[in-house]
């Protein structure tokens, strides 16, 4: 298994462990998710829950009055589209437990297609990230000005998450696609 893939997996696990919205003891870590199950091409629950929390908080911001609401509504369309894309892009991450055990099966083939689509769409995603980050900066400034600390923290968390997507999650999806493709090509 390539060292980069192992480091990417470790980075994801570290990021999830460091997320303050996930409390120790919430969900026990199973010894092996792979024994009696077929590979899951779905967004891991931990990431899905974080995305749902970000989306809910973003929607709440759009309902605010004043500059916070204005700033949130200014990037609402882009934000909603971004959250929707995540549902399409991150399902290969659900294959990590199987890949970590060296298992590649034909059921994983869709991960290759998703990774290829992501690779083709990365320039657009990076442009959207830049626009979204610029809008979040304005939202954060408005929240500071209006003394809304919860939205300041929200902007900080979402900004870091967008950085995490670019630095860890998207590259991991690409590595998963490449790993599955190589594994299927050997069979």
State the Cα angle at 36 between 34 and 39, rounded to 5°.
50
pTM of the model: 0.80
3-state class percentages of the chain: helix first, strand second, coil last, to nearest 5: 80, 0, 20
C-alpha 128, offset from chain centre: 15
pLDDT, position 7: 46
The encoded tokens of residue 78 equal 């882009």
Share of the chain above pLDDT 70, in %: 80
Write the pLDDT tens digit of every residue in 71-85: 999 999 998 888 888
The encoded tokens of residue 30 equal 């199973």
In the chain, where are the structural domains located? 41-186
What is the DSSP secondary-structure string of 162-180?
HHHIIIIIHHHHHHHHHHH
pLDDT, position 24: 45
- For every one of its 187 residues, what pLDDT tens digit does the chain have, with 9 covering 90 and above? 454 444 444 444 444 444 444 444 454 445 555 665 778 899 999 999 999 999 999 999 999 999 999 999 999 999 888 888 888 999 999 999 999 999 999 999 999 999 999 999 999 999 999 999 999 999 999 999 999 999 999 999 999 999 999 999 999 999 999 999 999 998 7
Write the pLDDT tens digit of every residue in 4-43: 444 444 444 444 444 444 444 454 445 555 665 778 899 9
**Closest alpha carbon to 171 in 41, 1, 3, 5:** 5
Could you give the CA distance from residue 18 to residue 171 in angstroms, rounded to a whole number?
Answer: 19
The region that residue 108 occupies, defined by phi over 0 for left and psi between -120 and 50 for alpha, beta otherwise, is alpha
């Amino acid at each position: 298994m390539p060292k980069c893939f192992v480091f990417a997996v470790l980075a994801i696990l570290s990021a999830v462990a460091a997320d303050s919205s996930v409390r120790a003891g919430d969900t026990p870590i199973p010894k092996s998710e792979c024994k009696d199950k077929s590979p899951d091409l779905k967004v891991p629950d931990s990431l899905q829950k974080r995305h749902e929390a970000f989306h809910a908080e973003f929607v709440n911001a759009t309902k605010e009055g004043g500059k916070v609401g204005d700033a949130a509504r200014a990037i609402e369309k882009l934000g909603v589209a971004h959250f929707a894309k995540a549902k399409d892009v991150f399902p290969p991450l659900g294959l990590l437990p199987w890949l970590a055990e060296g298992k590649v099966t034909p059921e994983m083939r869709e991960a290759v297609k998703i990774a290829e689509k992501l690779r083709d769409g990365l320039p657009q995603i990076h442009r959207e990230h830049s626009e979204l980050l610029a809008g979040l900066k304005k939202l954060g400034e408005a929240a500071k000005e209006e003394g809304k600390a919860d939205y300041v923290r929200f902007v900080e968390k979402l900004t870091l998450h967008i950085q995490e997507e670019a630095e860890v999650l998207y590259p991991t999806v690409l590595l998963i696609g490449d790993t599955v493709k190589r594994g299927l090509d050997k069979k």
